[in-house]
Structures are given as C-alpha cells and as structure tokens.
Chains A and B, each alone.
Chain A
Amino acid sequence: MDALVDTLRKQIVEALSLEESTPEDIDPTAPLFGAGLGLDSIDALELVVMVEKNHGIRIVELEVGRRAFASVNALADFIRTNQKPCADSE
C-alpha cells in the first residue's frame, strides 16, 4: 500500500476529528464528499489547511480543490504532482 495514501488517511482522520472512523476505514478510491464519509464544506476548508500545513501546498482555486479532494488517491496524486522537488533529490 502506498505510504503517502496511508499517511493521508491518518491526517484526514486527525484533521477532521473523525473519531468514529479509523484510517483503515477510508477507501482510497471512494469519494470523500457526498456519500461515504459525509464530509461537508467546512471539512473541505479544513482539508485545504491540512494540505498546506503538512505538505506545503496551497490550494487557491475551488476547481483545483474539487479535483484534488475527489478521493484519497486523487489527493495523493495531487500532492506528488505539486510538491516542490527536494534540493538534494537525484
């Protein structure tokens, strides 16, 4: 299992105080909003803060956020694509 996906599931549970769910409960392919976890608009804003705080990426456009939060897998892809490369990579 993808380490980033695992980390994100933990971070989502923590950021949104989903006490009745464990990270393992979150299906990485399932939609985050609407059905499933039943997250709402405040949760969306909180996830934006979480992504900036934990991954240093700022989501400014609503449409960008919508695509990034489509599922945990989508979020992982988004972060990988947008993360600044490390100075000592390669």
Chain B
Amino acid sequence: MSSHCAIVGMDLVAALGDGPDAVWARLLRGECGIRPATRFPHGKYTTDVVGEVPAALLDALRAETGADESSPAYAMAAAIAGRVARGVPGGQARLAGAHTGLVLATTKGEIGQLERLAASPGGPVDPCHNVGALARDVAEALELSGPVLCVSNACVSGLVAIVQAARLLHRGDAELMLVVGVDVLADFMLAGFSAFNALSPTPCRPYDAARDGLSLGEGAGSLLLCLEPRPDDPVLGEVGGWGITNDACHITAPSRTGEGLAAAIRAALGAAGLRADQVDYINGHGTATVYNDAMEARAIHAVFGDDMPPLASVKGTLGHTLGAAGVLEAALSLVAMRERTVPASIGLETLGVGVPLRVLREPLELPRLDHVVSIKSGFGGVNAALVLRRGAGSR
C-alpha cells in the first residue's frame, strides 16, 4: 500500500488565534485558549469555559469569504482553505487549472442552522446543515474541478480526511488535494456533552491525575497535498503512512485495553516503514476524560515501551475541536517539526494515567524532530494514527 505524499500548504484558526505561527507562539508560552464563554449562557451547561475562536477573528473570516452570520462553519472552512489555495506557488489559478479535489472533515457542519429551525414551531426542516453540501460550497468557492466529499467520522474525521485525500492522489483521481477540517461550537454539542457528564468545569487537563472531562473548542485547519511537488513548492511535511481500526466495544466509550489504538499506531508505522524508536514526537489525542487518556496511555506504552518519544496534547489549550482536530493538530505537528520543538502538554501538573507516559510540562527542543505520530480516537470506537515526516522544505 503506497501512502506517501507531500504537504505543500497549511493554515489554521483556533482559540489561540490566527495562523499556525501565532498559535504556535502562544502554545509555547503556555497560554490557555479555554476561557469563559462569550456566546453561550453561563450556568446552563456543566461548564462555562470553552475554546472559542475570538469574535473579531470570526468576523474577519466572514469578511474574507462574504459569508453571513448564519454560516460560521463555511466562513472558517472557506477562508482557511482559500488562504492555503492562494499561498501555494501559482495560487488559486493553479488549483483551478489542475485537477484539484477537496475533502472536508466535520462532525456537525453548519449546525447553527438546524438549531434555529428546530426552535421555530411546526413545519419540516430543510436539511440545510448537510455536510456534503458544505464541502461542495467550499469547493465551488475555490473553483475546484476534482473529487469533492465530506468525511464525517466523529473525532477522527480530520485524520481520516487527510488519509482519504492521500488515497485519491495515489489513485490518480486528482493532482492536488485540499483537506479542510472544521467544527463550530454550538449549544448542540455543549448540551450533548453536558448530558454525558463529559465536560470539565475548568480548562481540561489531559493526562493529569485530577482530570475530570474535556473542554470543547472550535476551529478550522487546512492542508494541501500532492504526490509530486513542483521545484518551487515548499514541502512543509509529508504523509508517511496511516492506520485506522475500530475497538468494536461500545458506541461512545473507548475500550479499556487500548489494543485497537495500538493496532492503528502499529499499522501506521508499518506503512511508513518506521520502527517505534524512530518516532520523535507523539501528537496525542488527550481529551482529558478519565477513560480516553488511560486507554491512550496503555496503547502508547504497548507500542513504544518505557523508552517512548515525548507526547503532548494540545486540547488543554485549544479544547477538543472535534472534526477540525485531526487537520488542525496535524498542521501544528508540522510546525513542531520545523521548529524541532515538542510543545508542553498544557493542563498537566501531575501525571495520572496508570502507566509511564512521557508527557512534557515544559517545551523541549530536540536536535532531531523528523517523525511525528498523530493519534485520534472517536465515538463509534474508531481509532486513527497518522505518520508525518519532516519536509525537505523545512529548514
């Protein structure tokens, strides 16, 4: 199975702000983007803190795309994908002229539209938050002529979207593939995760002994993939390989053993031709629920042993960005490789996952940071692991 492809563009927005460099800088300074909600009532849900994209930034993204108030998911996705399209040598014209496709990752898409219609009495609902339509709208805005689809696979949507884009490239179905992951915070998921008692009342603490639930976040990330970059394309990184499995245990809770996630990691390493000891950094899932982090720790320990690479979760500062997470966190992993720095896992004070785990409380500069494994697990029992390699274009 051939899996390698080059990443020649990236961008993102999240609670910590606009763009990979700005977000990375704040991440290294230990800033926390999980703050008292401004768009949601306090005291209504089991938490008052969320990782909102700053209002001014959301307004700016709307202005960039001409979206109105009712389409924040479109605004974020189209803006970030548009920047990536314009940022590559040849820009949007090159993408429009080539056979370029789009895979959009999201769990709930433009969910606000459904919420508004649900609140109005009577009458059928127009399925306006159709996620396939969101993908098509973003593709049309960029005049893309290649394959377009949405991947909606719970919290692994982002990673699976990157994988699906790589698959399409390898089949020759496209010359270039844009991947966009997006999810917008809404009462829908706040109410749902509250009903699950899964939210921490304070900013979440991945891998910590006192962790008590996740924090929700929002954002968008985008990557541009191709098989054969042009000489002047910046190669920011490479997809090395992937593994996707299902625990087959429970529709929302993770397995207790972590063997499904371990199998996904091993499959990704195998596809990339890597030994476990060649991995320099793990971008963990780290949602800060009691069970996820314990399961993840077991899986990582099973694959890497005591002498494991350093690990960080960014959800302690960005929150869990759901469908955007896989793409957004992969983009930050590319920055980590460029900077040869493993970020601290914000929110951790005392490790408490039942097995040894090398989670950092301070950023760590490394002489070499060439291989990253990004891992995600999601509702429905699905696990995904992606190997990312340093790009030749990273100094």
Q: How large is the interface on B (under 10, 10 to 19, 20 to 34, 35 or more residues)?
A: under 10
Is A45 within 8 A of B195, CB to CB?
A: yes
Range for the number of chain A residues in contact with chain B = under 10
* B195 A40 Cβ-Cβ under 8 A: no
Does A41 touch B at the CB level, under 8 Å?
Answer: yes
Say if the beta carbon of A49 comes within 8 Å of chain B.
yes
In angstroms, Cα B42 to Cα A80, docked, is 32
B197 contacts A45, CB within 8 Å?
A: yes
Q: Are A49 and B253 in contact (CB under 8 A)?
A: no
Q: Quick check: B195 and A49 within 8 Å, CB to CB?
A: yes
- Cβ < 8 Å to B, chain A residues 10-48: 40-42, 45
**B250 close to A (CB within 8 Å):** yes
> Is there an interface contact between B253 and A41, defined as CB atoms closer than 8 Å?
yes
Please give the distance in Å from B195's CB to the nearest CB on chain A. 6
In the complex, what residues of B have CB within 8 A of residue A45's CB?
195-197
Distance between Cα atoms of A45 and B196 in the complex (Å): 7
B70 within 8 A of A: no
Q: Is the CB of B250 within 8 A of A40?
A: yes
Give the Cβ gap from B291 to chain A, nearest Cβ, in Å: 10
Give bound CA distance, A49 to B195, whole Å: 8
Nearest chain-B residue to A49 (Cβ)? B195
Which of chain B's residues have a CB closer than 8 A to the CB of A40? 250
The chain A residue sitting closest to B251, CB to CB, is: A42
Q: How far is the CA of A41 from the CA of B290 in the complex (A)?
A: 14
How distant is the Cα of A4 from the Cα of B252 in the complex, in angstroms?
Answer: 32
Inter-chain CA distance A41–B253, complex, in Å, is: 9
Minimal Cβ-Cβ distance residue in B for A41: B253
CB distance from B247 to the nearest CB of A (A): 14
- Assembly CA distance A40 to B252 (angstroms): 11
Q: Which residues of B contact A41 (CB under 8 A)?
A: 250, 252-253
* Chain B residue with Cβ nearest A44: B197
Report how far A45 CA is from B194 CA in the complex, Å: 10
For window 245-259 of chain B, which residues contact chain A by CB distance below 8 Å?
250-253
Chain A residues with Cβ under 8 A from B250's Cβ? 40-41
Question: Separation in Å of the A48 CB from the closest CB of chain B?
Answer: 9
Name the CB-closest residue of B to A46.
Answer: B195
| CB closest chain-B residue, reference A42 | B252
Q: How far is the CB of A33 from chain B (nearest CB, A)?
A: 14
> Can you name the residue of chain A whose Cβ is closest to the Cβ of B197?
A45
CB nearest to B195 among chain A residues: A45
In whole Å, how far is B270's beta carbon from the nearest beta carbon of chain A? 34
Q: Which residues of A contact B196 (CB under 8 A)?
A: 42, 45
B198 to chain A: closest residue by CB = A45
The minimal Cβ–Cβ distance linking A68 to chain B, given in whole angstroms, is 16
Q: How far is the CA of A41 from the CA of B197 in the complex (A)?
A: 11
| Alpha-carbon distance between A42 and B195 when the two chains are bound, in angstroms | 10
A1 CA to B112 CA in the complex, in Å? 48
Residue of A nearest to B291 (CB): A41
Ranked 4 nearest A-B pairs via Cβ: A41-B253, A45-B195, A45-B196, A42-B252
By a beta-carbon cutoff of 8 Å, the part of chain A in contact with chain B is 40-42, 45, 49
Between-chain CB contacts (< 8 Å), 11 pairs:
A40-B250, A41-B250, A41-B252, A41-B253, A42-B196, A42-B251, A42-B252, A45-B195, A45-B196, A45-B197, A49-B195
Given contacts A40-B250, A41-B252, A41-B253, 6 further A-B pairs with CB under 8 A are: A42-B196, A42-B251, A42-B252, A45-B195, A45-B197, A49-B195
